[in-house]
Chain A
Amino acid sequence: MDTVIIYGVINSVTFVLIAIGFSLVYGVSRVPNFAHGATYVLVGFLTWSLVNDLKLNYGLAVLISLGVSLILGMIIYRVVLLRLKGMPTSEIIASFAVSLIILEGLRLQGIGGFKGFIGPGYVLKPFISGKIQLFSVFVSYQRLIVVVAGITLVVALWLFTHHTKMGLSLRAIAQDEQAAMMLGVNADRTGTIAMALGSALAGLAAVIILPLGNITAEAGYKVLIQALAVCIIGGLGSWAGTIVAAFLVGFAMKLSTYFFGAMWESVVLVGTIILILLVKPSGLMGKQKELEERV
């Protein structure tokens, strides 16, 4: 049972890390960033390449790839999503297309001598190797780093959105776009910032979580699905809901693994979504107006 609790917490914090970026972007600009998982994987591979091909310092490589994800987010928003604002169908399809281009592009072979990132050989080093014993359970330091980083990130994000001018403008746009624009908040600029920040958060999640296993392009879809699942369960656009949902899903998954076996993890994920949608369509803490968002 110790295992379930400790790994449940770690798993939940992983979900928080994965989902918070998506939730931020959706909350601010109501744009579903389907390229979230792709950014995550891209940062993983980029860091790997910088460390192994260009022999850069690990820390420097992480910083560079985070910068790249930040810029990538800005470009996606400026070039693609901004042109389609207000057309939900096109937004979904376009950001999904971006995600596919990145994820499948990473697996592209034989163009310009590019080998394609296929196979299990891509592993990032943990920041600190080794294990520690917490109540009868061995936990690697990297997993502890995940938890610490997750908590720090949530606190930092809370401080950012409540005590800085930029963060306040993000929240203003999220709450009431019209009113915020009247008070001089530039919606496009805020959207770009949110998207850049969201992508960087995806990248951050990648560099913290990926050292736990190897990097594959398929993980992009998995991460996207998990982020979406957590956000739907918590209520899209609700940040507190995202965290609660991450813990709910994280523990539900670990419990099902404990009782039934690892194959049931994803079944639990979708099962929870369908259950939540049936019982409370706006998600656990969804603040959406029922009639406007769903019928």
Chain B
Amino acid sequence: MSSPYRRKKRLDRSIKVRSEGLYALSSWREMTYLLAPRLLLIVGLLAAPLFLDLYWQKVLCAAGIVAMLALGFDFLAGYVGLVCLGGALFIGFGGYAAGLLNAYWKLPPVVTIPMATVIGACLSTLILMPCLRLRGVYFAIVTLMLPMFARTIIIALGVFGSTEGLTGLDIMPNHWIELYVILIAVLAALFGLRRLVNEDAGLIMMGIKDNDQAVLAAGVSIFRYRVLAVFIAGLIGCFAGAYLTHLYGWLGLSLWALDFSVLPISATVLGGMGTLSGPVIGALILTPLSEALRGFGQLRVVLYSLILLVVILYKPEGLMSYIERKYHQFERWEKV
């Protein structure tokens, strides 16, 4: 008699187990199994511009910016336990630093982008430093306020072009450089972060996320690692900001806009939190989608938020974890 009860059994594919050790190197099949997904992303991303027209190439640049921010958010939230609702803070600092260097000292983008990346990251780390003693809700709340605060300060002081912003900044020399700068930066950030989280520093950061008191008890300075993590996320975010300024040759108050905080979070949640590659894929899906909906005005933000809410409630693992599971494991029904 067959039992009506059955359950799903999920097992690792044998090739996953075989390709875990050093012996993977001895077989092409195992090596392909390991490299294929990575190569697919790298080649896909680098080849994509060749098949797109000028308009969608611009969209790809915007997607790259969101992907950078999403990476920063995912790194902070998923690996260090700091939920940063203020992605716009990084964009703002990076963008303003690059724009001002360009406007006042006439430095070319080749110089301003790296300089703004570092300056912006230092500034945002300094600003966030007092808040690093907080965690969870507290940190989220303060970071949500900071971009709005920066905005009011700029209006209050009437500096940096105040409400109108500065126009006529240098733009990138040509659109291929424009495209590949951001694409390579996204890939570098992605693989750099993946490497980092497997190093000692990354392990400590994950320890801080899981149980900070245990890390503290082990005699490791939590504060130092948090500063480090925020600085790294700051580098990534401020690069995106500096790039954005030179992409449009313009800086203004909308660099502090809420979009830059919300879209990366939606991308991260859609792609899968804590996977690092998920946010990139999420950004590549969401940004073109929001571009297609440009005609509907506010509907875009409503839509991101709806996606965010639905995914977080009904599919909290996200896209990337799902794909990863299908790739590495197989499932079958089993009688109980």
B219-259 residues with Cβ-Cβ distance < 8 A to A are: 222-223, 258
Cβ-based interface call for A291 (8 A): yes
B130, B137, B305: the one contacting A97 at CB < 8 Å is B305
**Which of B135, B144, B298, B308 neighbours the largest number of chain A CB atoms within 10 Å of its CB?**
B298
Q: Which residues of B contact A263 (CB under 8 A)?
A: 152, 155-156
Given the contacts A232-B142, A291-B213, A109 and B265 also touching, CB distance less than 8 Å: no
B116-167 residues with Cβ-Cβ distance < 8 A to A are: 130-131, 133-138, 140-142, 144-146, 148-149, 152-153, 155-156
Cβ-based interface call for B177 (8 A): no
Stretch among A44-52, A63-71, A158-166, A274-282 lining the B interface:
A274-282
A104, A229, A264, A270: the one contacting B301 at CB < 8 Å is A104
What is the CA–CA distance of A293 and B85 in the complex, to the nearest angstrom? 19
A84, A97, A104, A232: the one contacting B138 at CB < 8 Å is A232
B250-309 residues with Cβ-Cβ distance < 8 A to A are: 258, 262, 265, 269, 273, 296-299, 301-302, 304-306, 308-309
What is the CA–CA distance of A285 and B107 in the complex, to the nearest angstrom? 50
Q: Which residues of B contact A236 (CB under 8 A)?
A: 137-138
| A-B CB pair tally, cutoff 8 Å | 127
- Which chain B residue shows the least CB distance to A263? B156
Chain B interface size range:
35 or more
The answer to whether A294 touches B144 (Cβ under 8 A) is no
Cβ-based interface call for A107 (8 A): yes
Chain A interface size range:
35 or more
Given the contacts A104-B301, A270-B145, A89 and B133 also touching, CB distance less than 8 Å: no
What is the CA–CA distance of A273 and B137 in the complex, to the nearest angstrom? 15
Q: Which residues of B contact A88 (CB under 8 A)?
A: 83, 136-137
Q: Which residues of B contact A94 (CB under 8 A)?
A: 308-309, 312-313
Distance from B299 Cβ to chain A, minimum over Cβ atoms (Å): 6
Cβ-based interface call for A295 (8 A): yes
Cβ-based interface call for A108 (8 A): yes
A79, A83, A93, A274: the one contacting B265 at CB < 8 Å is A93
Cβ-based interface call for B201 (8 A): no
- Which chain A residue shows the least CB distance to B158? A263
The answer to whether B148 touches A108 (Cβ under 8 A) is no
Cβ-based interface call for A98 (8 A): yes
A140-191 residues with Cβ-Cβ distance < 8 A to B are: none
Cβ-based interface call for A214 (8 A): no
Chain A residues packing against B (C-beta within 8 Å): 26, 32, 79-80, 83-84, 88-90, 92-94, 96-98, 100-101, 104-105, 107-111, 116, 221, 225, 228-229, 232, 236, 263-264, 266-267, 269-270, 273-274, 277-278, 281, 291-295
Contacts A/B (CB < 8 Å), 27 sampled: A79-B313, A80-B309, A83-B313, A90-B316, A92-B83, A93-B312, A94-B308, A96-B265, A100-B262, A107-B297, A108-B298, A108-B299, A109-B298, A116-B298, A228-B145, A264-B156, A266-B149, A266-B152, A267-B152, A274-B131, A277-B133, A294-B133, A294-B135, A294-B138, A295-B133, A295-B135, A295-B213
Sorted nearest first, the 5 A-B pairs with minimum C-beta distance are A263-B156, A100-B305, A104-B301, A270-B149, A97-B305
Knowing that A92-B83, A269-B149 touch, tell me 13 more A-B residue pairs with CB under 8 angstroms. A89-B136, A92-B140, A96-B262, A100-B258, A101-B302, A104-B302, A111-B299, A228-B144, A263-B155, A274-B130, A277-B133, A293-B138, A295-B213
